[in-house]
Structure formats: C-alpha cells, structure tokens
Amino acid sequence: MSYKEQIDLQRLPAHIAIIMDGNGRWAKKQGKNRIFGHHKGVETVRKITDAGAQLGVKYLTLYAFSTENWGRPSFEVNALMELLVHTIRKETKQLNKNNICLKAIGNLEMLPPKCLRELKDAMELTKNNNRMTLTLALSYSARWEITEAVKQICQKVSSGQLNIAEVNEQLVAQNLSTAYMPDPELLIRTSGEQRISNYLLWQIAYSELFFTEKFWPEFDEEEFYKAICIFQQRERRFGKLNTTEQ
C-alpha cells in the first residue's frame, strides 16, 4: 500500500512546518551551482503545497530564508530574493485558484522593497482564501520573534495596559507572529541535518520531528506522505501517561 493510502484523513496534522534544507548540496551533486538548487527547490515548494492542500492540511509553514541567511554571499542572497519576487508574482494566480491564503512571518522590513511589495500584494490578493494557509518564514528567526513578543508585552506593561500577573503562556503565544495558527504537530527537516536552526522554537514544544536524508529538491509527495504516516504511528502524550498506564 502506498503511503498516501495509509494516511488516516481524520487524524491529519492541522499544521506542518518544514525546514527546506539541502538545495546547495543537491545542486553540487549535479555539478551545478547553488542557485540551480534553489530553482529546483521552488518546484518542490509547489508540489508540497499542492499535496498538503489536497490532503486537507490547514497550515503549512516553510522556512524560506533565515535571519542567518543574510550572511551568505550577496550574489546568493540577491538570487534568492529575485527568485522569491518572481515566484510570488508567478504563483499568486495559482494560489487563488487553489483557495490558498499566503502569509509571511519574520523581520519583513529587512527584505528589499520590491520583494516586500510583491509579498504584500500577494498576501492581500489571497487573504480571503480558506482552504489552507501557506506561511513563508522570511528573514525569520525564532529568537528574534520571541524577543519582539517580549518587547510588545513590556510595552503594554509599562503603559499600564497590562498587569504583570496577566502575563502567561497564552499571552506570549498571542504576541508571536504565528498567533493566527495552531502550533505545528509535525516538523519536517530535509537533507539529513538533525537541527532546529532557530525555527519556531516556542511553537514546536510538542511537535513530532521527522528528519529525512532527501535534499529539498528531491523531496516529493511520497516522502511527505511518509512523514505524515510516521507522525500518525507515533503516540502523542504531551508529557502525560497513556491511557493504559493510568
């Protein structure tokens, strides 16, 4: 039986987060430059977005550019930004057709103005779509996000809008850029690396982790379905005992 057939659609993870890794190494293996790998990576983004929406996943969050990625050679950073602008422009129609809402998290003000404009336009044009929300983490790092949340909360406390006694986990979560969605139940990382790399640190507290050896450009629907099947085979206890142990 294929992995897709094994998926229990009643127990789908509502939110899947992905660290798309290995574009550069994949390209090198083909004797091509890193940019070629990023272009191939966009094809995988398209495939996995469609597969997620078709299954009924409600939220898909992709790590497209980390705060640390600004430190790459400017040639690569520029190519990635160009690719982003181009892809967003090209795919907006398709997102609408598939009823997918595009959102972005991260320090978006750091993006080149053209890129930010394109992104904002696409988000505006897709904002009423409700089949799935595709969130791109761009110029994102979880520590930056948490620091921003702390600043917002402090501001409210210092202006007297909020009492320190009212600060709890729920309030912190409400001040994160992901406040509009549930925490991811499943986090996937490609390319054999087993790290979190400053991604959604608060939100993945109880996420199941799936690491695959496949590089992002070779990650496909079948591997995506496999990750969901493995997720469904695991027992999620949230720190409690399972029912037979009680």
Task: Give the closest residue to 27 by CA, choosing from 40, 16, 37.
Answer: 37
The question of whether 69 is a catalytic residue gets the answer: yes
DSSP β-bridge partners for residue 61: 17, 135
For the residues of 35-82, what is the DSSP string, one character each? HHHHHHHHHHHHHHHHHHHHHT-SEEEEEEEEGGGGGS-HHHHHHHHH
Task: Give the closest residue to 134 by CA, choosing from 36, 55, 67, 58.
Answer: 58
Q: With contact defined as beta carbons under 8 Å apart, do 143 and 113 qualify?
A: no
> Tell me, what DSSP letter sits at residue 11?
G
CB of 124 to ligand FPP, least distance (A): 18
Binding residues for ligand FPP, total number by CB under 6 A: 19
Given the residues 33, 50, 69, 183, the one annotated as active site: 69
The question of whether 242 is a catalytic residue gets the answer: no
Window of 37-45, 125-133, 152-160, 204-212 that interacts with ligand FPP by CB under 6 A: 37-45
CB of 34 to ligand FPP, least distance (A): 6
> Can you tell me which of 7, 18, 23, 126 binds ligand FPP, judged by CB under 6 A?
23
Enumerate residues 50-89 that contact ligand FPP by CB under 6 A: 62, 64, 69, 83-84, 87
> Can you tell me which of 16, 17, 18, 20 binds ligand FPP, judged by CB under 6 A?
20
Joined tokens for residue 246:
């009680």
In the complex, which residues of this chain contact ligand FPP (CB under 6 A)? 20-25, 38, 41-42, 45, 62, 64, 69, 83-84, 87, 136, 191, 216
Q: Which residues have a catalytic role annotated?
A: 21, 69
